[in-house]
Amino acid sequence: MSKVVLGMSGGVDSSVAAYLLKEAGHEVIGLFMRNWDSTINQDTLGNPTLDDEVCEQEKDYQDAQKVAAFLDIPLHRVNFIETYWEKVFQYFLSEYKKGRTPNPDVMCNKMIKFAEFFDFGAQFNPDFFAMGHFARTTTHEGTLHLLKGRDDNKDQTYFLSQLNIDQLSKSLFPVGSYTKKEIRDIALRIGLPTATKKDSTGICFIGERDFNQFLNNYLPAKKGPIVNQQGEILGTHTGLMHYTIGQRKGIGLGGHPKYGTEPWFVLGKDLDQNTLLVGQGYHHPLLYGTHAFASSLNWIGEPFETLTCKAKFRHRQKDLAVQISKDEKELRIDFLEKARAVTPGQAVVFYHEDRCLGGAFIDEVFEAEEKLPR
């Protein structure tokens, strides 16, 4: 019998993971992570700011306690608030300051859930650590592979792409071989307290709150002009950090009398001039490039110099064919299929069929030799 330390979030996935591990004969120790304090935080000047909502993590912890009692497993609680602030939230803010669009969930997995969590959980001398992620691992000819979860719509390997072999070799993903419906059915069948709890959405420290309002608590929003390719001013943006490439909703232009009713999309940003570039049409040419450069490559596949594979530039985006090549400093990604709205700061994750090969972070996007306004 193996001893497993399981991250219990109070959600249905980690609850069923605890049940499946027990059913498989493992000794399970639950560990609830508190990563965010939503009652008092600080703005960019270091002044305390009071969030509008009661901390949902307290409710999640209570749900985790109910599940632990139901399954008769011990549950411990650990506070990673300070570490999360330093290693994830400060990264999140610094990326927005640069005009990029970060993915803090990727960094949270790398720095907190599969690092700090492992270090803290080591005191229980576990054989493995487990999470409720929809992913799988297997070993083929002595090499560990990270595989997509069986439910393609819920697959979370995109968010695990920065994990290394050592982290993955210690990890179990009990729900990865099931569909979400099957997980719900198991929870209902055995009467888990979280069986009907809805899935959490969005970034963990924002929850159901308005994203732009939350961001304004930490970064000063500076209004500026919205322009088209001809330099005409069409309106006023509320702060470049509030927009991402390819965005349609929230621009505030609506139908423009001179240009008709075709919808407007964000094409680029100019931080120096504080301007937001927009254009009409979902398939506007400036939303597409020929290649991109990325950095911070984490590779869990076999070594390569040039490789043709598939890639995702956003979670739940379909896999697109690319060719990748690298030198010591950066990774070049040539698009073999049209890739829309590839955005600096976002993770690009590589695949061969169901196998996740690793990932990097987008820095620049080009159309032929011309850098696109990202």
Measured N-to-C along each axis, helices 180-190 and 12-23 cross at an angle, to the nearest 10 degrees, of: 70
CA distances for 162 relative to 56, 88, 266, angstroms: 27, 13, 28
Of 66, 91, 58, 71, which Cα lies nearest the Cα of 28? 71
Strands (E), 212-330: 224-227, 233-237, 264-270, 275-280, 291-299, 306-312, 320-326
Give catalytic residues, as residue numbers: 108, 204
Tokens of 229: 């390719």
- Give the up-direction half-sphere exposure of residue 369: CA atoms within 13 A in the CB hemisphere: 0
**Interatomic CA distance for residues 148 and 133, integer angstroms:** 10
Strand partners, 335: 322
Of 351, 357, 360, 274, which Cα lies nearest the Cα of 319? 351
- The helix (run of H) or strand (run of E) holding residue 144 is strand 143-148
Residue the block writes with tokens 């990890």 = 171
